[in-house]
Structure 1
């Protein structure tokens, strides 16, 4: 690589994603091979990275992954690349337990230089102590420069540059305050907003980055040295087997971790199918129903009765099926829209999911199932309706700090389903998944 960097921020809402998309597209437009990464468990930003960079984005998450796995991922996906751009999560030092799980932890582990994005709205020289604090708080990471967002004018930026100089952090430019570089809500159907085109948005932000940010200086400050990424020995690739794997992928189901899918490709032949458009399941030994936006396609999903029946027949015959979040909702008797309209779906799980009275549930989850530990992340607005004969969870669930939480994992025949987006791409932590596929749990 020529350069690699992590885009951190003082807090959420500073504009990490906007700047990341613009920089990814700008580097791509310059003809460079750029590889995107995302700190933490987010599976929506990674999809946007892929569109901006033209290459899949990979999660780096120290809660769900071992350090060895994170190093292997970074080295494998940056092999042959010119640039690696990692978007941080929340504020730079925000993790699930102080700094644990934070962007700073990933920057330290992989020795990635940090570019700090600072929200300059309603402030000027007062950013100096903020920059000084971030620069000096934790000496095991290297904050090499700052980019400001929501800057009102060149005069405004002059105060910010002075603050940088006095704080010992190099000013690399800014993004001006303007409405056409604001991203709509990403967690409630961004891809379905017909008035918003991510491709056009990435081009627009790339123009602003080229105009107002010194990209050449940014790349010089984040240039790689030969010893930047610690060498690791890759796990030997698994030999392909006759396992036939079917993965739901369409507008309704598309929240999946890149390395999870890659791992499935190692285990057998992967076929993608659409619960919205296809009439039946492909021939399968294992079916994966990831999360997504099923609540926005209820009419189409419910009307595709041949697919509903095909999935039901497969599961009733003992087929192995893993369903997460929206995929789990799809297996219920019905899903109710936010207006209360009920749409019948697969009917394997004798319960109803509803989007009424939406309330966000999110956080890392550890599930103890039999003798296994499963890790993942919960993020949803839906809920399971209370009922007389409540389905019981087969696992006990805990937060990242070990507190009990009522996140369920359901088991019906060989179907596993729950709200947790599970991670099984790490060979050091995925024995549960191998045992499940082999019929041992």
Structure 2
């Protein structure tokens, strides 16, 4: 049975327009009204979803028609439509950028677009830009426009009056560089920061921002003061079921590193392992947790370069992981996990520290990004898809098992290494792209 739910794909003319801030403000403001909000992120991103999950109160999953496939996107939207009053999908880059683009997703699934435009350096040209977004493709419906980083009420008036009649005005947020001086502040304070700080892989992780909820409340306050918070029109979502693995991991214990150094975990990947029957235990290398009793280990991506000395001091964990790999037990190390698996890692300032020594090699974080792109990997367990995005350059003394390929012909084609049952690479794998192949990575 088709389900109907109000929905927006929140997009923009380019990166840096404030899509995440607006999506977070919408999610928190509607949730405060008692509405059930489900948020998704287009494309392979870890940091935005952490912020959006805090804003909405629910886990944020990826929607990517290449990485997960069209059926995966359809199934996730259908499931969300059965439990939400509002679905928000934050786009990636500019509306028409990439292949597939956010516009492709909007067109394929009938998602109306809310265009977020940074109005800080323009007036009437705002309307021309909005008109261009709305008319560039006939199969994409730009339902309305949201102005970000607006300087004053008069500035907002100029922007609003520049819009063609066919585009709805959905409000504004003030400039991110100024505090929100709002009488709506619920803790009695007169001002709150509304900017979301960034670092070299994007936004700062949600768990590292002690005042994140205050920032989200300030965003919601600012939005509430400048928007009606009306729901967009309902969208029909066709039935589809999320694919489950047929490979059984029943009885297997998987230990997963999870803390500020190993934070990049797709919720859908966790779902695949649980659907296969695995027992999952999370541990924090930074907090001093010992490696739990387990049959397999997963070291996901994150920021090991920000915690070099703490990780280097974990001689006990290093020895336990070496014993695990030497015994022929499975271990998956992805990106930051790969960096930790090497003999040594240096940050961008040249400070180096010994790591786990599971794979012969060293790496150093560079001042600029070294790899970016979707990745397809043909492994003995099956073909998997994912992506690569990192600032590190590694020198690894091992013959790669295989190399990933980039579907868009980009230069990033990551090497994949295997030692016994350890698999290590810079690729962040998306398990729903082939649930059985993903499950096999953790089999003895």
TM-score scaled to structure 2, two decimals? 0.89
> 1:233 deviation in Å?
3.9
2:92 counterpart of 1:89:
yes
Among 407, 411, 414, the alignment partner of 2:418 is 411
Partner of residue 214, structure 1: 228
Q: 1-side partners of 2:331 and 2:288: how far apart?
A: 18
The Cα offsets for residues 390-437 of structure 1, whole Å up to 9 and x where unpaired, read as 3222112222324564421111110000101011124xx344324434
Change (3 A) 1:411 1:8: same
| Structure 2 SS opposite 1:375 | strand
Q: Deviations over 1:322-346 (max 9, x none)?
A: 1100101111111122232321121
Mind listing any 5+ residue stretches in structure 2 that lack a counterpart? 178-192
Change (3 A) 1:259 1:46: same
Q: Secondary structure at the match of 2:35?
A: coil
Aligned to 2:438: 433
Conservation of the 8 A alpha-carbon contact between 1:397 and 1:404: no
What displacement does 1:280 show? 2.5
Match of 2:29 in 1: 26
Change (3 A) 1:333 1:183: same
Instruction: Please point out which of 287, 294, 298 is paired with 1:284.
Output: 294
Distance 1:302 1:234, change over 3 A: closer
Q: Shift of the alpha carbon at 1:300? A: 1.1
3-state SS of 1:277 partner: coil
**Alpha-carbon distance, 1:193 to partner:** 9.8
Answer yes or no: is 1:136 the counterpart of 2:150: no
Residue matched to 2:239? 231
Alignment equivalent of 1:171, drawn from 160, 169, 172 = 169
Aligned with residue 5 of structure 1, among 5, 8, 13: 8
Consecutive unaligned residues of structure 1, counting only runs of 5 or more, are none
**Higher mean C-alpha deviation, range 316-325 or range 400-409:** 400-409
Q: Which residue of 1 aligns with 2:150?
A: 151
After superposition, where does 1:188-337 map in structure 2 within 5 Å? 190-191=204-205, 197-216=211-230, 219=231, 222-225=232-235, 228-235=236-243, 241-267=250-276, 268-337=278-347
Cα offset, 1:248, TM superposition: 0.8
Matched, 1:43 2:46: yes
The whole-number CA distance in structure 1 between the counterparts of 2:420 and 2:320 is 16
CA 154–358 in structure 1, closer or farther in 2 if over 3 Å, else same:
closer
Given that residues 322 and 358 in structure 2 are in contact (C-alpha distance below 8 angstroms), is that contact kept between their aligned partners in structure 1?
yes
Which position in structure 1 is the counterpart of 2:184? none
2 CA distance for matches of 1:292 and 1:403? 23
State the distance in 2 between where 1:126 and 1:295 align: 43
- Tell me by how many angstroms 1:182 deviates: 2.5
Other-structure match for 2:183: none
3-state DSSP of counterpart to 1:367: strand
Cα deviations by residue, 1:96-149 (Å, 9 ceiling, x for unpaired): xxxx32111221222211111011122111122222221122222221110101
User: Per-residue CA shift, 1:333-383, capped at 9, x if unaligned?
Assistant: 111222323211210111012125554421111223358433111111111
* Structure 1 CA distance for aligned equivalents of residues 279 and 104 of structure 2: 36
Q: Flag the 1:189–1:312 CA change in 2: closer, same or farther, 3 A.
A: farther
The 8 Å contact of residues 396 and 404 in structure 1, kept in 2 or not, is answered as no
- Paired with 1:195 and 1:39, the residues of 2 have a C-alpha distance of 23
Q: 1:341 aligns with which of 351, 358, 370?
A: 351
Give the distance between the partners of 2:287 and 2:146, measured in 1 at CA: 44
The alpha-carbon deviation at position 212 of structure 1 amounts to 0.8
RMSD, aligned α-carbons: 2.2
Moved more, 278-287 or 249-258: 278-287
Equivalent residue pairs, number? 423
